[in-house]
Amino acid sequence: MKARDIRNFIDGEYIDTGRWFDKRAPYDGQVIARVAEAGKAEVDAAVRAAREALVGPWGKLAVADRVDMLYAIANEIDRRFEDFVEAEMTDMGQPGQFIRHVDVPRGAANFKIFADVIKNVSTEFFEMATPDGRGALNYSVRKPLGVVAVICPWNLPFLLMTWKVGPALACGNTVVVKPSEETPQAAALLGEVMNAVGVPKGVFNVVHGFGPDAAGEFLTTHPQVSAITFTGETRTGAAIMRAAADGARPVSLEMGGKNAAIVFADCDFDAAIEGTLRSCFANCGQVCLGTERVYVERPIFDRFVSALKKGAEGMQLGRPEDPATGMGPLISQEHRDKVLSYYKKAVEAGATVVAGGGVPDMPDALKGGAWVQPTIWTGLGDDSVIAREEIFGPCALVMPFDSEEEVIRRANDNDYGLATAIWTTNLSRAHRVAGAIEVGIAWVNSWFLRDLRTPFGGAKQSGIGREGGVHSLEFYTELKNVCIKL
Ligand code: NAD
C-alpha cells in the first residue's frame, strides 16, 4: 500500500504544516501514511475559523435546515461507506466485518439521532402571576456553547469522534477535533464529507498531533475554546480538567474502565459464554466497555473457564480484510509493550495462565504487527494489579464467587465504574444486582447493546457527565430563560 498524506482540515481546506509524523499499520508495522502535525499556529487558525463560523451562515441557520444538513452528512457517510471502512481498517487493524457492522454505521447514526433529538425535544414554558394582575411568560431557549474542542482516543475512532461531533453540530456549535495520533484517517476523511454536503467553512475542523505540549494541549488551553469533550484515559481526563479550569469551561469526560462481568450459575450458559468472549476480545480488548474481570458463581466456575479457554484458543488472528479474521492486533508496539508488561506481571503474581499469555506466531508478512494472544487467567484475587488496573488488551482474570452480596461488594471495590454485564435468568436478581453495581451502564444478558437515546457515561473515575439523547443537549447547549412581562 502506498503511503498517503493526511492533512489538517481548517476552514474548509486541507493544510500542510511542513512537520510530518508517520502512521504505521498495526497488523504489519508498515508506514501507511504521513500525517501533518499541527502546531500552535494551526490550532489557533482552526479555533479562529470555528469562532468566525459561529457568526456566519451556520449561526443563522434555522434548526430545520441544520437537521437537513446533519442528515445529508449521514447520507454522504453511507455513500462513502467503504472509504471509511478502509480508513478504520488500516488505522485500527480490526476485522472489516466488525468495522462494517459497528464503527461506520454508528458513525452515520450519530448524525441522524442527534438531528432527531434537536428537532423533537422541547424546552419548558411557565406562566407566572404578577401583582398587577397582567402576568408574565417564561420560556427557555437552547443556545450553543460556541467552539467545542473534541479530543478523541484511538479505539473505535470514527464512532467515538462522531458521538461528540454529531450532537455538538446538532446544537449549533462549531468544532475543532483532535483525533488520536494513532488514528488520523477517518477524521480527515470527514472533512471531505462536510465540504461535499455544503457545511459552511470553519464549522468542522481537524488538527492532527499528540497530547501534552502538542496539538491536544494547545487546543484544550486555547482561550477561545468554549467547552471540551474528551474520551480517553482517566489520567489524561484529569489533565484536561485542569486545563479547562482556566476560563471555567465545561468538560464532558468519558474515561477508562475495569469492567466486571458477573455470571450467576442460573445463567443461559451458552449466551453468557458468547457474550463474555465478545466483551473480552472484541476490537482486541480495546473497548472501554470491555470486560477484564469475570466473576463466575462457583458451581459453574470450572465449566465456564474451560469454555472461555476453548473460545479464546479458537480466535482467529489475521489481517482486517480477511473475512475469516476474528481478532486483529493491538493499536501499536507501545501499547503492546504495556499489555505484555501486564501479561508478565500476572505470571509474577502467581496467576494460572489458562489461555494465551504471550505473542502469537504470525506469518512472516505480519511479524511486524502488534499481535498478542487472547489471554485468560485464574488464581489471582481482587487485590492483584491485574484485577485493579485497566490493561486495555484482550485479556481477563476469572474469579469464583459464592453469593450475590459478596460479588456486588467485590465488583464495586474498584476505582472505575463504567460498565458491567450481568448474566442470570432470575429476574429479581437481575434488577437487584443492576441497581447495586456502581457503574454508568449495567447490561443484563447482553453486552454493547446501545440505544443512542439513553444516558452514556461513567461512575467514579470512569467519567464526568452523561451524553446520549437529551443528555447530549444538556452538555452542548446552555439554556437561556426569557421572561416577558405582559
Ligand atoms: P489517551 O488519554 O492517551 O488519549 C486520548 C486523546 O487525548 C488523544 O487524542 C491524545 O493525543 C490526547 N491527549 C493526551 N494528553 C493530552 C493532554 N495533556 N491534553 C490534551 N489532549 C491530550 O487515551 P487513548 O490511549 O487514546 O484511549 C484509550 C483510553 O480511552 C482507555 O483508557 C479507554 O478506557 C478510554 N476510553 C473510554 C471511553 C468511554 O466512553 N468511557 C471510550 C473509549 C475509550
CATH number of the domain residue 480 falls in: 3.40.605.10
Same domain? For 248 and 283 the reply is no
Closest residue to atom 11 of ligand 1, CA basis: 211
Instruction: Kindly state if the Cβ of 255 falls inside 6 Å of ligand 1.
Output: yes
Please say whether the beta carbons of 281 and 295 come within 8 A. Answer: no
Residue 166 inside a domain? The answer is: yes
Same domain? For 81 and 215 the reply is yes
Residue 179 inside a domain? The answer is: yes
> What pLDDT, on the 0 to 100 scale, is given for residue 424?
98
Same domain? For 474 and 447 the reply is no
Residue 346 inside a domain? The answer is: yes
Work out whether the CA dihedral 143, 146, 149, 150 comes out positive or negative: positive
Closest residue to atom 15 of ligand 1, CA basis: 211
Residues 325-355 have pLDDT tens digits of 999 999 999 999 999 999 999 999 999 999 9
Q: Would you say the pTM of this structure is higher than 0.75?
A: yes
* For the CA of 210, the nearest atom of ligand 1: 11
* For the CA of 254, the nearest atom of ligand 1: 41
Same domain? For 19 and 77 the reply is yes
Q: DSSP H helical segments within 121-229, as ranges?
A: 157-170, 185-197, 215-220
* Ligand 1 centroid to residue 302 C-alpha, Å: 36
Same domain? For 223 and 275 the reply is no
* For the CA of 257, the nearest atom of ligand 1: 34
Grid coordinates representing 175 are 468544532
Instruction: Kindly state if the Cβ of 458 falls inside 6 Å of ligand 1.
Output: yes
Residues 115-161 have pLDDT tens digits of 999 999 999 999 999 999 999 999 999 999 999 999 999 999 999 99
Residue 306 inside a domain? The answer is: yes
Active site residue 292: no
Same domain? For 185 and 95 the reply is yes
Closest residue to atom 23 of ligand 1, CA basis: 232
Residue 139 inside a domain? The answer is: yes
Same domain? For 181 and 132 the reply is yes
Residue 457 inside a domain? The answer is: no
Residue 118 inside a domain? The answer is: yes
* Ligand 1 centroid to residue 461 C-alpha, Å: 14
Same domain? For 179 and 288 the reply is no
Same domain? For 328 and 239 the reply is no
> What pLDDT, on the 0 to 100 scale, is given for residue 2?
73
Instruction: Kindly state if the Cβ of 237 falls inside 6 Å of ligand 1.
Output: no
Instruction: Kindly state if the Cβ of 42 falls inside 6 Å of ligand 1.
Output: no
Instruction: Kindly state if the Cβ of 392 falls inside 6 Å of ligand 1.
Output: yes
Each of the 486 residues of the chain gets a pLDDT tens digit; together they read 678 999 999 999 999 999 999 999 999 999 999 999 999 999 999 999 999 999 999 999 999 999 999 999 999 999 999 999 999 999 999 999 999 999 999 999 999 999 999 999 999 999 999 999 999 999 999 999 999 999 999 999 999 999 999 999 999 999 999 999 999 999 999 999 999 999 999 999 999 999 999 999 999 999 999 999 999 999 999 999 999 999 999 999 999 999 999 999 999 999 999 999 999 999 999 999 999 999 999 999 999 999 999 999 999 999 999 999 999 999 999 999 999 999 999 999 999 999 999 999 999 999 999 999 999 999 999 999 999 999 999 999 999 999 999 999 999 999 999 999 999 999 999 999 999 999 999 999 999 999 999 999 999 999 999 999 999 999 999 999 999 999
DSSP assignment of 441-453 equals EEEES-SS---TT
Domain total for the chain?
A: 2
* Ligand 1 centroid to residue 233 C-alpha, Å: 4
Same domain? For 209 and 65 the reply is yes
* For the CA of 220, the nearest atom of ligand 1: 20
Those residues whose C-beta lies under 8 Å from the C-beta of residue 210, and which sit 6 or more positions away, are 37, 181, 216
Domain that holds residue 383: 259-451
> What pLDDT, on the 0 to 100 scale, is given for residue 1?
62
Place of cell 507501545: 334
Using left for φ > 0, alpha for ψ between -120 and 50, and beta otherwise, residue 422 falls in beta
Q: Helix-strand-coil percent breakdown of the chain, rounded to 5?
A: 40, 25, 35
Instruction: Kindly state if the Cβ of 209 falls inside 6 Å of ligand 1.
Output: no
* Ligand 1 centroid to residue 33 C-alpha, Å: 21
Same domain? For 274 and 251 the reply is no
Using left for φ > 0, alpha for ψ between -120 and 50, and beta otherwise, residue 481 falls in beta
* For the CA of 236, the nearest atom of ligand 1: 2
Place of cell 464526568: 464
Residue 456 inside a domain? The answer is: no
Closest residue to atom 40 of ligand 1, CA basis: 254
Pocket test for ligand 1, best of 183, 288, 390, 392 (most atoms within 8 A of CB): 288
For residue 428, give the CATH number of its domain. 3.40.309.10
Neighbours of 371 (CB within 10 A): 23
Same domain? For 164 and 283 the reply is no
The two beta strands, 395-401 and 441-444, are unpaired
